[in-house]
Amino acid sequence: MKPGRLNVEPHLARPDDFYQGLLELHRDLSDEQSRLANAKLILLLANHVGDHAVLDEALRIAREGLAEAVASAGGQPPPVEMDAIRAAMQGSSKEGS
């Protein structure tokens, strides 16, 4: 991989093992402890990556879509019809793998 490009293709050999490990990291921690553990994890991994261009790209992507997510978490959900579901489905099906 060329420097300065964040790899967003699958790169973990055993993704489910990793995800389980991630959840286990937080087992029995308080919310405050979890936040600190996550922060330490990010700092460790950032140092390991080392490439500032890669880190900048990751920082940018991490901010994407947060406004929408917060909006949808509060308030009443809009009524959804089959058409809307289908439209949503077609709108993003190009992204499918």
Partner 1 sequence: MDRRARPGDVARARERLGENQPMSPAYERPVYAYRRAADQDAVRAVRHPVVIVGAGPVGLTAAIDCAVHGLSNVLLDAEDTVCDGSKAICFAKRTLEIFDRLGCGERLVKKGVVWNRGRVFFGERQIYEFNLAPEAGNGRPAFINLQQYYLEQYLIERLGELDATKLRWRNTVTAVESRADGVGLTVETPDGPYRMLCDYLIAADGARSAIRHLLGLPCQGQVFQDRFLIADVVMQADFPTERWFWFNPPFHTGQSTLLHRQADNLWRIDFQLGCDADPDEEKRPERVIARIKAMLGEQTRVELKWVSVYTFQCRRLERFQHGRIFFVGDAAHQVSPFGARGANGGIQDVDNLIWKLALVLAGKAPTALLESYDAERIPAADENILNSSRSTDFITPKSEVSRAFRDATLMLAEHYPFARRLVNSGRLSVPAVLHASPLITPDADRFDSAPCPGAPCVDAPIQTAAGEDWLLRLLGNGFTGLYITAEHGKMPARVGRVIEQLAAGTIPVDVLVVGGRLTGDGPGRGIIDVAGLVQRRYGGRPGTFYLIRPDQHVCARWRRIELEAVRSALTRALARAAQRSERVA
**Residues making contact with partner 1 (CB under 8 A):** 7-12, 15-16, 18-20, 22-23, 26, 29, 31, 34, 38, 61, 64-65, 69, 72, 77-85, 88-89, 91-93, 95-97
HSE-up of residue 69 (Cα within 13 Å, Cβ side): 5
* Contacts (Cβ under 8 Å, ≥6 apart) of 3: 51, 53, 54
CB of 8 to partner 1, least distance (A): 4
Least CB distance from residue 9 to partner 1, whole Å? 5
> Closest distance between partner 1 and the C-beta of residue 47, in Å?
20
Of 50, 49, 21, 52, which Cα lies nearest the Cα of 37?
21
